Amino acid sequence: MPNQQLISVIIPAKNEAQRLPVFLDELIPYCRKSPYRYEIIIVDDGSTDNTIEVVSDYQKSFPQLSLLKLDRNHGKGYAVKQGLLAARGEISLFMDADGSTPADEIEKNLKFIFEGYDIVIGSRVLANKACSVKALLYRKSMGLVFNFFVHTFLIKNIKDTQCGFKIFRREIIRPLWEKIRLEGFGFDLEVLFLAQRMGCKIKETAVNWTHKDHSKINLVKDSLVMLINIFQIRHWWRDR
């Protein structure tokens, strides 16, 4: 029965005092109405604004919301990893604090886990008439270039490695995520690369996605770092 399932939602957050409330105002009512049980884990990645106070205010009305405060800023990958390792759900997922992927994508895509997939990843690239992707043109262009390098040197058969919406069956979280070394934005690459090597069954599915202002990603700097990450991953795991 659905109400026997606990779903853990991990949200990494660094200085998200402005954007996080907008998403929580959507996510919490969604969780309340669901036939599933939910916990929400906000992982504070060294915020210097009042993100922690914002989370504390929401905890008063939704006790299933918890805060995992990191000692300092480590990076999105590290924050997601710590949240997933702390999660109690039979199914866990992570979403971005800006709400670029809406809450109703969660239960649309849980069915793939129930069908036997280990990992479900949202895609902004797969064509689907039922889904809408609203991205800036220059971001799409840079994404195409980045994906060329990913598909050529690292990961096959996955069109969008970087969408901030991924679901995991509980049994594969620790065996997979305890191996992850990358702490920044390139962590998705290592996760999917290792998941394929481990033989995990992965489903890529189209999701609704909308660009939100005030992104934490520096397109030039972070794209260069992630290109380097591609070759780091190949080197780290070449003979393992």
Alpha helices in 89-218 (DSSP H): 105-114, 137-153, 170-177, 187-197
User: Model's pTM, two decimal places?
Assistant: 0.91
Pick 2-236's CATH classification: 3.40.640.10, 3.40.50.2000, 3.90.550.10, 3.40.50.10860.
3.90.550.10
Per DSSP bridges, beta strands 6-13 and 91-95 are parallel
Closest CA to 59 of 43, 40, 46: 40
Q: Map out the domains of the chain as residue ranges.
A: 2-236
Query: Nearest 5°: CA angle at 236, between 156 and 202?
Result: 30
Residue-wise pLDDT for 161-214, tens only, equals 999 999 999 999 999 999 999 999 999 999 999 999 999 999 999 999 998 766
Residue 239: pLDDT above 80?
Answer: no
State the chain's mean pLDDT as an integer.
Answer: 91
pLDDT band at 1 (very low <50, low <70, confident <90, very high): very low
Q: How far apart are CA 85 and CA 16, in angstroms?
A: 22
Portion of the chain with pLDDT greater than 70, in percent: 90
Q: How far apart are CA 149 and CA 163, in angstroms?
A: 16
Three-state DSSP at 57 gives helix
